[in-house]
């Protein structure tokens, strides 16, 4: 009986020591991947900035300014700055009425060697709608790389 207790004793110690061993392990591969992430250079930032367009549709240009301003303010009130919903609205997927008033074109953030995404905010300055965007590096826990405010392009009639 004593021999079985002596054999069983080390087996009981294994479950107690495994958590300590696993806590001390570091995932070196993920650290290396993070070190190899390249942030956007000035040329890539310029490409993104130059591709961003925010303007009124032809339909909105022939409407009363207060109609599309009212709609813009309604979206801002309803959705605040919920980045997920705003991205869907700006892409024209979540709110088709948005496409009746506004056209937004932007770079899809592909081909840069690391994963990026936009974070959009809607604002208003001097009765002019503004889309604020931040470009975030997803490979670095959504680290902000740069931001820009883009006013809707208005014709001289406004």
Number of domains in the chain: 1
pLDDT (tens digit, 9 = 90+) per residue, 32-61? 455 678 889 999 999 999 999 999 999 999
The 8-class DSSP code of residue 117 comes to: E
* Residue 52 belongs to domain spanning: 42-151
Is 113 inside a domain boundary? Answer: yes
Q: 44 CB contacts (<8 Å, ≥6 apart)?
A: 112
Is 55 inside a domain boundary? Answer: yes
Is 80 inside a domain boundary? Answer: yes
Question: What's residue 137's pLDDT?
Answer: 94
Residues present in the chain in total? 158
Phi, psi of 34 (to 5 degrees): -65, -35
Question: What's residue 37's pLDDT?
Answer: 83
Is 143 inside a domain boundary? Answer: yes
Helices (H) and strands (E) in the chain, counts: 7, 5
Question: What's residue 156's pLDDT?
Answer: 56
Is 5 inside a domain boundary? Answer: no
Is 17 inside a domain boundary? Answer: no
Strand order in the sheet with 128-137: 116-125, 128-137, 143-151
Q: How far apart are CA 126 and CA 117, in angstroms?
A: 28
Residue-wise pLDDT tens for the chain (158 aa)? 566 655 555 555 555 555 544 444 444 445 445 567 888 999 999 999 999 999 999 999 999 999 999 999 999 999 888 888 888 888 877 778 899 999 999 999 988 877 999 999 999 999 899 999 999 999 999 999 999 999 998 865 54
Helix axes 65-79, 83-90, angle to 10 degrees: 150
Question: Which of 23, 51, 25, 60 is closest to 154 using CA atoms?
Answer: 60
* pTM, entire model: 0.73
Is 70 inside a domain boundary? Answer: yes
Q: How far apart are CA 56 and CA 104, in angstroms?
A: 9
Is 129 inside a domain boundary? Answer: yes
Q: How far apart are CA 82 and CA 80, in angstroms?
A: 6
Residue 155 contacts residue 61 (beta carbons within 8 Å): yes
């Amino acid at each position: 009986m004593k021999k079985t207790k002596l054999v069983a004793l080390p087996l009981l110690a294994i479950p107690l020591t495994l958590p300590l061993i696993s806590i001390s392990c570091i995932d070196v591969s993920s650290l290396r991947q993070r070190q190899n992430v390249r942030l956007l250079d000035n040329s890539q930032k310029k490409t993104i900035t130059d591709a961003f367009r925010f303007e009124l549709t032809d339909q909105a240009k022939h409407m009363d300014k207060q109609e599309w301003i009212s709609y813009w303010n309604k979206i801002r009130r309803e959705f605040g700055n919920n980045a997920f919903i705003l991205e869907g609205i700006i892409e024209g997927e979540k709110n088709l009425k948005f496409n009746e008033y506004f056209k937004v074109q932007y770079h899809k953030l592909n081909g840069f060697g690391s994963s990026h995404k936009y974070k959009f905010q809607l604002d208003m300055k001097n009765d002019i709608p503004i889309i604020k965007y931040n470009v975030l590096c997803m490979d670095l826990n959504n680290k902000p790389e740069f931001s820009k405010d883009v006013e809707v392009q208005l014709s001289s009639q406004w």
